[in-house]
Structure 1
Amino acid sequence: MTNPLKGRIKAIEKLEKEFIKKAAVHLDDGDMYLIHMFLLGAAQRTLCQSRGFRHLIESKNFPSATVLLRTQIDTAMRMNALPLIQDRESSMKRLMANEVQFDRLTTMDGGKQERLTDAYLRKRLSAEHPWIDKVYTETSDFVHLSFRHLWTAVAGVEDETRTVRFALSGMDAQRPQSDYFEVCDAFAAVSKLAYTMILASWGPVRTPQENPDQDAA
């Protein structure tokens, strides 16, 4: 009988392999522009985080695995925002030159100019995928030092004597299997979102002749 946790880890690895296979088709697909380089960076980041997540779950390092879930959401939020950028190639040029950070880019939303801040990107992605909001909030507690990290060191609780045992080892002291199932399922769902958005954004780019502001790389 298949181990439920190992099955989930294998499913995440399968998503990686499927994405690499689909993304490889685009690498030989005509000219490459700055938006494609940005997408390559996103793809590499997403795959690296996925591989790291699998290893952390296998080594019972729940807090660090959860941080990677949070940063995987970060990638998905930015991929979801790419279609909102009006002059993408020009914006990518500014990003690559470190003239501006992603959260300084803007878009028009309902007749109002909006900055692509984390709060705005989270709102946009959660509007399409409501479950993202809860996962984002819970995983943010692990990104920043909080009392959530204390509970990962609890090795046992004795109700009769009202005592708590702690263990410092760099590994999860004690955690229900269901917690691992939940974080793996969330990671797989977020990764699938990121992969889908990266592939969807790899569409044709107008040539510099058609738009002088766009520069081929």
Structure 2
Amino acid sequence: MWTLELNRKVCIFIKSLNLMLNNLEKEIEKLESKEKQLIEVAKKLNSGKFYPLDLLSNAVINRSLKLIFGFTTLLKDDNFIAASHLVRCHLDNIIRFSASWLVDNPHDFATNVIDGIKIDSLKDKKGKLMKDWYLRDLLNEEYPWITNVYKQSSGYIHFSTKHIYCSINSVDSEKRTMQFSFSRKDNEINENLKIEALKCMGEITDILLEYLNGWYFTKENPYK
């Protein structure tokens, strides 16, 4: 009876593990499929008149594709600790690109950025310096998860408690011992955490696509 019960638990564990792996693969495919949408909007933006904001758009599209596929490549290689940094980088895409919609003249703004002037030294139409935290908080008003993801993903950028806990394999409070893990792979990372990060990358990409398609609509309909 004991053996049958053990076998049953093992089977349930394997089914649960397979389900999580399948979900992970589906989320990776879903994120990578956004490449087509980014390429399509890039083609549209570069098919007619060209403005300074188009140069910024091209740069953010190119960076996004590199980050997305860098992220999924690292996840497939079971290297979540390295992949997690890229969530914050991808979030930076929409935080800074969104500044183009907060100024009186987006093309003058784009020209300044192209010339190397830092965005956080430029002001929006309200006269506010466009610091990252300011742009982040404005985005958070429309997308209430932005600030939380910003803070959580920043914890992976800088050496922090996240890295300390990830190095601990197990803790025995009775024996007062810890077991540490040293590996290039992260087999101890919960699959749900990886799926959550993938969904964040997808949401960030969707917001970016909204901005890009909005800019394309404005180009095509300048008097509306």
Q: Please tell me the TM-score bracket, short chain as reference.
A: 0.7 to 0.9
Distance in 2, Cα, partners of 1:133 & 1:12 = 21
Tell me, in whole angstroms, the C-alpha distance in 1 between the residues paired with 2:221 and 2:41.
Answer: 22
Note if 1:204 corresponds to 2:223.
no
Partner of 2:69: 51
Cα displacement (A) at 1:142? 0.9
- Larger displacement relative to structure 2 (193-202 or 156-165): 156-165
- Residue among 128, 147, 156 paired with 2:142: 128
Distance 2:195 2:54 in 1: 34
1:104 is matched with 121
Q: Decide whether the 8 Å contact of 2:28 with 2:72 is kept in 1.
A: yes
Residues 206 and 88 of structure 1: is their aligned pair in 2 closer, same or farther, counting only changes over 3 Å?
farther
Q: Secondary structure at the match of 2:128?
A: strand
Identity of aligned residues (%): 24
Q: Which deviations, in whole Å up to 9, do the C-alpha atoms of 1:86-133 show, x marking residues without a partner?
A: 1222222222222x1111111133xxx101100100111000000111
**Which residue, 92, 99, 124 being the options, matches 1:74?**
92
1:190 aligns with 2:212: no
CA distance in structure 1 between the partners assigned to 2:183 and 2:59 by the alignment: 34
| TM-score, scaled relative to structure 1 | 0.85
Tell me: higher relative CO, structure 1 or 2? Use CA pairs within 8 A at least 6 residues apart: 1
Q: 1:34 touches 1:93 (CA, 8 Å); kept in 2?
A: yes
Matched letter for residue 150 of structure 1: I
User: Is the contact between residue 43 and residue 195 of structure 1 (CA under 8 Å) also seen in structure 2?
Assistant: no
- The CA distance in 2 between the partners of 1:132 and 1:92, in whole Å, is 24
Q: Take 1:90 and 1:79, find their aligned partners in 2: how far apart are those partners? A: 14
What is aligned with 2:14? none
1:153 maps onto 2:167 in alignment: yes
The structure having more radius of gyration, on CA atoms, is 2
Match among 38, 57, 60 for residue 19 of structure 1? 38
Q: Which residue of 2 aligns with 1:169?
A: 183
2:52·2:110 contact (CA, 8 Å) conserved in 1?
yes
In 2, distance between residues paired with 1:105 and 1:52? Answer: 31
Q: Secondary structure at the match of 1:156?
A: strand
8 Å CA contact 1:73, 1:190 repeated in 2: yes
Structure-1 separation of matches of 2:202 and 2:190: 19
Of Structure 1 and Structure 2, which has the larger fraction of its residues in helix?
A: 2
- Where does the alignment leave 5 or more consecutive residues of structure 1 unmatched? 208-217
1:213 aligns with none
Q: Could you tell me how far 1:159 is from its partner in structure 2?
A: 4.4
- Cα deviation, 1:14-66, whole Å, max 9, x if unaligned, reads 112222123322221x2212110111001101111001111111112222222
Pairwise CA RMSD: 2.1
- In structure 2, how many angstroms separate the alpha carbons of the residues matched to 1:24 and 1:163? 58
Q: Specify the SS of the correspondent of 1:106.
A: coil
Give 3-state SS (helix, strand or coil) of 1:155's partner: strand
Task: Specify whether residues 37 and 206 from structure 1 end up closer, same or farther in structure 2 by C-alpha distance, changes over 3 A only.
Answer: farther
Q: Secondary structure at the match of 2:125?
A: strand
Contact 2:170 2:180 (8 Å CA) reproduced? yes
Matching residue of 1:10:
29
Range with greater deviation from structure 2 (39-48 or 141-150): 141-150
CA contact (8 A) 2:100 2:109 kept: no
How far 1:166 sits from its partner (Å)?
A: 1.2
